[in-house]
Amino acid sequence: MIKNNTIAAIATAPGSSGISIIRISGDEAFLVADRVFRHVGGKKLSESPGFRAYFGKIYDKNEPIDEVIALVMRGPKSYTGEDSVEISCHGGILVTRRILECVLHAGASMAEPGEFTKRAFLNGRIDLSQAEAVIDLIDAKNEFAVKSSLSQLDGRLSDRIRAMRAQILDAMSYIEAALDDPEHISLEGYEEEFTPKIVGFIEEIQDLIKNYDDSKVLKSGIKTVILGKPNAGKSSLLNLFAGRDLAIVTDIAGTTRDVISEQINISGIGFEIIDTAGIRQTGDVVEKIGVSRSISAMEGANLLLYVVDSSTELDENDRHILSIMGDRKVIIVYNKTDLSSKVDETELRALSPHATIIKMSAGDGTGFDKLKECMVSMFNSGSIAQNDQVIITNLRHKEALNSALTSLRRVLESIEGGFGEDLWNIDLQDAYESLGLIIGEAVGDDVVNNIFAKFCMGK
């Protein structure tokens, strides 16, 4: 599906500054912006002569979300060469994201990777010499988006979408087969079977959208890996983050045999907390796997939480691990402050000069708030960055679910309006395509192939 309509995206890196910009570009940019923006003086952006800034509020239906400045640029004298609006808002990730959602809901499509730049080029706003760079950008971002989109998707969710798509495909194929071969396949009475199916799909999608809103769906957030020797208290720390018992916590070293992760949200910022088996020279086969996973988990981490058991002295293992962390962003969790201390803080500082040290007790939770504050401030200061693709993927998926929902509702309208079965399929096909976008599957000749696979056709 190739679109050439009005697009929108967040134009600034999330969390990196106090102000975020949402850019809208395309033929209907002003119309879309007017649906969400209310100027203090009641002016319509679509009536603006352009190159002016307007102060007002963004509304989600009737609820004000943020005070913003909307900058109106008329094509061809804009970055993309098209009519554009840039909404500057107050920076926080949740607010920025919500404004973008409203804009998408108002009729814009999520911009493809590199799409603003591509349009700028196609509309002659960028120099020819930059064209190759544009191609590289599309290429690199596309590769990354595809990979990240699939890897971010929770397996259960993609299973649900796949299952629903398979059912939609079967329903469509049945109808198409009957239209193509009405003397072999009859649609009489099919409505009674079909309507509840559509209602079921609608409920399923509503449920999925709710899941997106609760952020349960994407493995999103700042990838934070908990490291430390066996029995340093890593699993207890994870359980604190999760608010429930996830990892098996015992006093026996090496009881966490696998990588366990949890999505959490601190002050609107998503973290993916990953617990690992401790890194230790070991002869235990099972634990060796855990150790190698820990090292690989560390590779892609945005933030490391190194848990030190302050009740036992630092040993070679600690020194080894702290040394392999290198320049990474590290918080040293000086754990078990409820017991008598046997670790010298100055030695830790010497081993890891850039690290922040937080004293706490993961057992009873003392000092945990300090740890969370530290994590948030590192994010806000820009020293750790969330992967912005996650936010984009999330919104893209939600947009796709919403359009699938709209299409399925239209199918019901067609049924209620007494329109023929061939018209049900027009919208059913759209729903099928939208769901395919989430799991990265194109439509191609699915229906035709499925007809041949499932139905006995012809002479």
Partner 1 sequence: MVLEEFCDVAVIGAGHAGCEAALASARLGCKTIIFTVSVDSIAMMPCNPNIGGSSKGHLVREIDALGGEMGKNIDKTFIQSKMLNSSKGPAVHSLRAQADKQNYSRTMRQTLENTENLTIKQAEVSDIVMENGVVTAVKTVSGATYHCKAAIICTGTYLRARCLFGNVINPTGPNGLMSATHLTASLKENGIELRRFKTGTPARIDGRTVDYSKMVEQFGDERVVPFSFTTDPETVQKEQVSCWLTYTNEETHKIIRDNLDRSPLFSGVIEGTGPRYCPSIEDKVVKFPDKDRHQLFLEPEGLYTNEMYIGGMSSSLPEDVQHAMIHTVPGLEHASVVRNAYAIEYDCVDALKLKHTLEFKDYGGLFAAGQFNGSSGYEEAAAQGIIAGINASLKLHGKDQLVLDRSQAYIGVLIDDLVTKESLEPYRMMTSRAEYRLVLRQDNADLRLTEIGHDIGLISDERYSAFLVKKAAIASEVDRLKNTFVGGSAPVQALLASYDSAPLNNRISLADLINRQELDYDKIAPIDPDRPTLPLDVVEEAVILVKYEGYISRQEKQIEQFKKLENKKLRQDFDYTQIKGLRKEAAQKLNLVRPASVGQASRISGVSPADISVLLVFFKMT
Question: Phi and psi dihedrals of 69, rounded to 5?
Answer: -115, 125
Tell me which stretch binds partner 1 (CB under 8 A): 106-114, 302-310, 316-324, 384-392. Answer: 106-114
Instruction: Select 118 or 223, whichever has its Cβ closest to partner 1.
Output: 118
Exactly one of 15, 114, 233, 290 binds partner 1 (CB under 8 A); that residue is 114
Q: Which residues in the 161-180 window bind partner 1 by CB under 8 A?
A: 176, 179-180
Give yes or no for residue 444 binding partner 1 (CB under 8 A). yes
Give yes or no for residue 262 binding partner 1 (CB under 8 A). no
Give yes or no for residue 82 binding partner 1 (CB under 8 A). no
Can you tell me which residue has the tokens 């996973």?
A: 293
- Interacting residues of 270 by C-beta distance below 8 A, sequence separation 6+: 215, 220, 221, 222, 263, 264, 386, 390
The nearest distance, CB 364 to partner 1, in angstroms, is 52
Tell me which stretch binds partner 1 (CB under 8 A): 53-61, 182-190, 260-268, 335-343. Answer: 182-190
The nearest distance, CB 139 to partner 1, in angstroms, is 4
The nearest distance, CB 42 to partner 1, in angstroms, is 31
Instruction: Select 135 or 339, whichever has its Cβ closest to partner 1.
Output: 135
392: tokens are 């984009």
24: tokens are 């809208």
Query: H helices within 52-154, ranges in order?
Result: 93-105, 115-122, 131-152
Give yes or no for residue 448 binding partner 1 (CB under 8 A). yes
Please work out the total of residues on this chain that contact partner 1, with binding judged by CB under 8 A.
49
* CA dihedral for 46, 52, 55, 58, sign (positive or negative): positive
Cβ atoms of 292 and 213 closer than 8 Å: no
Instruction: Select 146 or 166, whichever has its Cβ closest to partner 1.
Output: 146
Is 169 in a helix, a strand, or coil? helix
Give yes or no for residue 138 binding partner 1 (CB under 8 A). yes
Radius of gyration of the chain (CA): 27
Can you tell me which residue has the tokens 């820990």?
A: 294
Question: Phi and psi dihedrals of 379, rounded to 5?
Answer: -70, -50
Give yes or no for residue 417 binding partner 1 (CB under 8 A). yes
What are the beta bridge partners of residue 228? 307
What DSSP state is assigned to residue 244?
A: S
Give yes or no for residue 426 binding partner 1 (CB under 8 A). yes
Is 315 in a helix, a strand, or coil? coil
Exactly one of 79, 121, 201, 379 binds partner 1 (CB under 8 A); that residue is 121
Provide the CA 86 distance to its chain's centre, in angstroms: 22
The nearest distance, CB 427 to partner 1, in angstroms, is 9
Give yes or no for residue 186 binding partner 1 (CB under 8 A). no
Give yes or no for residue 3 binding partner 1 (CB under 8 A). yes
Q: Is 301 exposed, middle or buried (0-12, 13-18, 19+ CB in 10 A)?
A: buried
d(CA 355, CA 457): 69
Give yes or no for residue 406 binding partner 1 (CB under 8 A). no
The nearest distance, CB 412 to partner 1, in angstroms, is 15
Give yes or no for residue 397 binding partner 1 (CB under 8 A). no
d(CA 200, CA 205): 9
Question: Phi and psi dihedrals of 60, rounded to 5?
Answer: -100, 105
Exactly one of 47, 63, 183, 299 binds partner 1 (CB under 8 A); that residue is 183
Positions touching partner 1 (CB under 8 A) are: 1-5, 112-115, 118, 121-122, 128, 131-132, 134-136, 138-139, 142, 176, 179-184, 187, 417-423, 425-426, 442, 444-445, 447-448, 451-452, 456-459
